[in-house]
Amino acid sequence: MQKYFTTPIYYVNDVPHIGHAYCTLATDTLARYWRQRLGAENVWFLTGTDENSQKTVDAAAKAGQPIEAYLDEMAAQWRAAWDDIGISYDDFIRTTEDRHLAIVHELFQTIFDKGDIYKGTYKGLYCTGCEAFKTEQELDEHGHCPAHKRVPDQLEEDNYFFRLSAYEDKLLAFYQQNPNWLQPESRRNEIVSFIKSGLQDVSVSRETAEFGISLPMDPQHKVYVWFDALINYYSAIKNTDQESFWGHVEHIIGKDITRFHCVIWPAMLMSAGVSLPQGAFGHGFFTIDGTKMSKSLGNVVSPVEVSERFGSDGLRAGLLSSFEFGNDGDFSMSQLEDFYNSKLAGGVGNLFNRVIVLLHKFMDGTAPETNRCEDAKQLEAKFDALIEGKKLKGAYDFFFATVDVANQRLNETEVWKLAKVDREAATEIFTELYGYLEFLTHMAETLLPESAPKMKAMLGGDGKVGEAEILFLRQ
C-alpha cells in the first residue's frame, strides 16, 4: 500500500499564520502515522507555494521588490516556518518552477485538444483577494466580496473557458459511485447539491494578468491561477520516481477551497484522461478568541512564535486537540497555556519522569521485560481507527486518557512503597507502567513527534532504562 498526502499550496503574499499551520500539521500527522505503518518509502507528503497570483504581484510591488526576488524570499520563509514547526514534507513545490510549468502546459493543451477549452469573452466580476470570478449573488448587501470586504473588479476581456458544464452528470455519477470520496459528509452534501444546482463553464485564462504561466496556444494570455495551482499535486510527481503515488493521492484542504478541489479539479482530470484522486478532506475553520483572524484586527497568530514558546509539539497538540478535524472551532493562547501545563507538562511529561525516576531508584534502572501493556492490541486498534478515520482530536483525547489511566495506576498502587516491602509485586506494577510508556511512545511518533525520540531514550535499551528527562517545562 502507498499513501500520498497533499496540503493546499499557500499564497505567499504574507507569512504563514496559525490557520495555514493547522492544515499543514494535520496533514503531517497523517503522513507520520502512515510512515510508521507502511515504511517511509511508501508515503509521500507534498506541500508548497502558490505563486502565480495577482496577490503576490501586488505584495511584491508594495514591498518595492522585483517579483522574482520577492517570491524567492517568501517561499524560503514558508519553507523555514514549516521546518521550524516540524513539518516532515517530502517535497515542496513552487508553481514558478519549470517542472510545474511543463505539466501545466501539457494538461492545458490536452484539455484544449479535447475541445473542453474554448475562447470567449468574460464580462463580470473578479475578486483578487479570492483570486476568483464572482456572481452578483455571491456579494453582500454592499456589493462587497463577503470574505474580503471590498468591491470586486469589473472585468471585460477575452478569456478561455473550461467546459465545466459538460461534466455535471459525470461528476454526480462519480460522487454516487464514491460516496466516501469527500469527507466529512457535510462537505460532500454541500458539493453534491452545488453540482446539482447546475454548473457553468469557468474562465481559465486572464488576458490582463501581469504574471503567471502563458497559455501554450496563445502566449498573450496567462493561465488562471487556480487552474494552474490545482495541477501542482500532479506536476510534483509526474515524470519522477514518485509517479506511482498518483494513484494514492488524498487532498487535505480547508472548507473554503472545496469547490475548486472537488468540482473543478476532478472535471479537469476527467477531461485530461488522468485518474482521479483517492479522496479529499475539507477541514473546518477556527477563530481566535471567538473572532475571525485578520490582519486589520491584529489578532493573527504566528505558528513559529507559538512553537518557540511551547515547542512544536505544544503547538500541534494544542491546535489539533482543540476541536475535531472537519468541524469549525476556536483557539486561544490562554487555552493553549492551560493545555500545555495540564496535559503535556503535568500529564505525559510528569508520568514519564516519575516512572523512570522510580525505576532508577528502586529497580537499579532495570527496564521491565515486556513489550507493551496488557491490552495493547485492543488499545492500538482503537488508536488506529481514530487516526484512519481522521479523528485527530479523538486520537489526542485517547492519548491523554491513556496517560491518565497510567498516572492513576501509579498513584493507586503506590509502587514506591510496595518496592520497599515486596519487590516481586512492585516488578509487576512497574512492568505494567512501562508497558504504558511504550504504548504512549508508539502513539507519540504520530502525535508528539518532537518528544517521541526523547521518550524512546527514556525507555532505554539492553535491559536498562535511560535518564529521566523533563519533556515539557512548565510555563
Interface contacts to ligand ME8, rule CB under 6 A: 8-11, 19-20, 22-23, 50, 229-230, 232, 253-254, 256-257, 285-286, 293
Active-site residue 251, yes or no?
no
Residue of 3, 20, 222, 390 marked catalytic:
20
Active-site residue 149, yes or no?
no
Active-site residue 127, yes or no?
yes
Long-range contacts of 67-73 (CB under 8 A, 24+ apart): 67/211, 68/96, 71/12, 71/96
Q: Which is nearer to ligand ME8, 195 or 229 (CB)?
A: 229
Residue of 55, 100, 130, 393 marked catalytic:
130
Distance CA 447, CA 401 (A): 14
Tell whether the torsion through CA atoms of 56, 58, 60 and 63 is positive or negative: negative
Q: Which is nearer to ligand ME8, 20 or 222 (CB)?
A: 20
Q: Which is nearer to ligand ME8, 272 or 359 (CB)?
A: 272
Closest CA to 120 of 133, 130, 101, 129: 133
Shortest distance in whole angstroms from residue 107 CB to ligand ME8: 14
Tell whether the torsion through CA atoms of 192, 194, 198 and 202 is positive or negative: negative
Shortest distance in whole angstroms from residue 92 CB to ligand ME8: 14
Shortest distance in whole angstroms from residue 294 CB to ligand ME8: 10
Q: Which is nearer to ligand ME8, 9 or 306 (CB)?
A: 9
| 450, 311 Cβ separation under 8 angstroms | yes
| 53, 209 Cβ separation under 8 angstroms | no
Shortest distance in whole angstroms from residue 198 CB to ligand ME8: 24
- The terminus-to-terminus CA distance of the chain in angstroms comes to 42
Q: Which residues, at least 6 apart from 11, have a Cβ–Cβ distance to it below 8 Å?
A: 49, 50, 53, 55, 56, 131
Active-site residue 292, yes or no?
yes
Q: Which is nearer to ligand ME8, 322 or 350 (CB)?
A: 322
Shortest distance in whole angstroms from residue 288 CB to ligand ME8: 8
CA 463 distance to own-chain centroid:
39
| One-letter amino acid for residue 21 of the chain | A
| 365, 359 Cβ separation under 8 angstroms | yes
Active-site residue 145, yes or no?
yes
Residue of 3, 100, 105, 127 marked catalytic:
127
Shortest distance in whole angstroms from residue 40 CB to ligand ME8: 25
Distance CA 293, CA 5 (A): 26
Q: Which is nearer to ligand ME8, 253 or 306 (CB)?
A: 253
Shortest distance in whole angstroms from residue 384 CB to ligand ME8: 25
Distance CA 147, CA 319 (A): 23
Helix (H) or strand (E) segment spanning residue 305: helix 303-320
**Residue 124: strand, helix, or coil:** strand
Between the alpha carbon of residue 34 and those of residues 29, 39, 92, 270, the distances in Å are: 9, 7, 19, 28
Active-site residue 17, yes or no?
yes
Between the alpha carbon of residue 319 and those of residues 31, 236, 274, the distances in Å are: 17, 29, 36
Q: Which is nearer to ligand ME8, 185 or 256 (CB)?
A: 256
| One-letter amino acid for residue 394 of the chain | G
Residue of 149, 292, 417, 464 marked catalytic:
292
Instruction: List, by residue number, the catalytic residues.
Output: 17, 20, 127, 130, 145, 148, 292, 295
